[in-house]
Amino acid sequence: MTKIITPILFFISFTSASVVTADNSDLSENSLYDLGISGSGASSSVGFIGRYDVGFSLKDSNPITSYDLFDQDSDEQRNAWVGVTSRQGQIRVGRHDSIDRMATVDADQHKIDGAYDLIMRGDDVLPNSMTYLKKSGAFAVGAQFAEDDSGEGGDSIGVVLNTKKGPYEAAIAYRRTPENSSAIKGRVTYKSRNNSRIRVDVVAEKFAVGDAKDDEASANSTSFMVGAKYNMTPRAYVVGQYGSVGFDLDSISGEGDELSRDYNALSFEAGYNITNSTSIYVNHTQKSFDTDSLLAPFESDSEGSQTNSIGVRLNW
């Protein structure tokens, strides 16, 4: 049983109170920019917003090798923040997506972990953060500061820029953790009219490490991914993602061979939304160190690993 993040979002104005879910609002489930509230005609110029992620799914996985592709979800990976919104923007405080994650995570259209999760190194949920977002016309900007409570020099700062025009959207973000790492990410998206049929995403990341801990291997890397989603019917969909990661051998620090090898990641998913709150899916995800070949489903190979899953996702 693997937990799946399911967002609960709420908005309370000074003159009325209501609950807004991702199914019936402009809010993105993946929280690229939850700015639909700011210009939605609220009767008050200032209001309170918040988000807390809950939920789970039932899943049966068949890992072909003993290599564990995915880390288990934990409370530290869930959003839990409160904030204030007005026509001048939003301020959010609490456990929040990192600013670079906000720029690219909306490209991940899988119900569970796929190629995106295997190649994006900088995605984090920051426990003690303050995030400011401002939307004006076709542009949105944001800035974030996060304080590390572990005493290991994990404070971070970052900025993001997002723009939309017609069926196209683009975002770029930079985040720096002075003593640990820095990341710059970009995304370009095409969506057919009303996002009803086709969505295509191209994502790139440049990740640079600082001083590695004694028991960790670290290296600078460049990642690239392309993903597409096709809605066959209003309820049935298919998703595919392919990406690759290349490591800078001259930047390796720490011990271990894992980060000295480039790899590819591939994932496919097909699903059906039974209701607005329940969906079923099948998923195949693989990681291959042999850049010249891919693994067939259920094939065992020393140069890669894969996971095949079937599950039910409940959004309550």
How confident is the model over 64-85, as pLDDT tens digits? 332 333 333 445 567 788 989 8
User: Rounded to whole angstroms, how far apart are CA atoms 246 and 222?
Assistant: 5
Q: Are 25 and 9 in contact (CB under 8 A)?
A: yes
Q: How far apart are the first and last CA of the chain?
A: 16
pLDDT at 258: 54
- Beta carbons within 10 angstroms of residue 150's beta carbon: 7
Low-confidence residues in the chain, pLDDT < 50: 1-44, 56-74, 214-215
Distance of CA 183 to the CA centre of its chain: 14
The CATH number of 57-314 is which of 3.90.1170.30, 3.50.50.60, 2.40.160.10, 3.30.710.10?
A: 2.40.160.10
The percent of residues above 70 in pLDDT, for the chain, comes to: 62
Question: What pLDDT, on a 0 to 100 scale, did the predictor assign at position 312?
Answer: 85
Q: What is the pLDDT of residue 11?
A: 47
Whole-number pLDDT of residue 129: 92
Domain coordinates of the chain in residue numbers? Answer: 57-314
pLDDT for residue 73: 47
**Sign for the pseudo-dihedral over CA of 45, 51, 79, 111:** negative
Nearest to 260 by CA among 268, 249, 250, 244: 249
Exposure string of 31-69, with b = 16+ CB inside 10 Å and e = fewer, is bbbbbebbeeebeeeebebbbbbebbbebeeeebeeeeb
Distance CA 125, CA 103 (A): 13
Return the pLDDT at 300.
67
- For residue range 107-166, what is the model confidence (pLDDT) as tens digits? 988 877 889 988 888 788 888 899 999 988 889 999 999 987 665 656 889 999 999 888
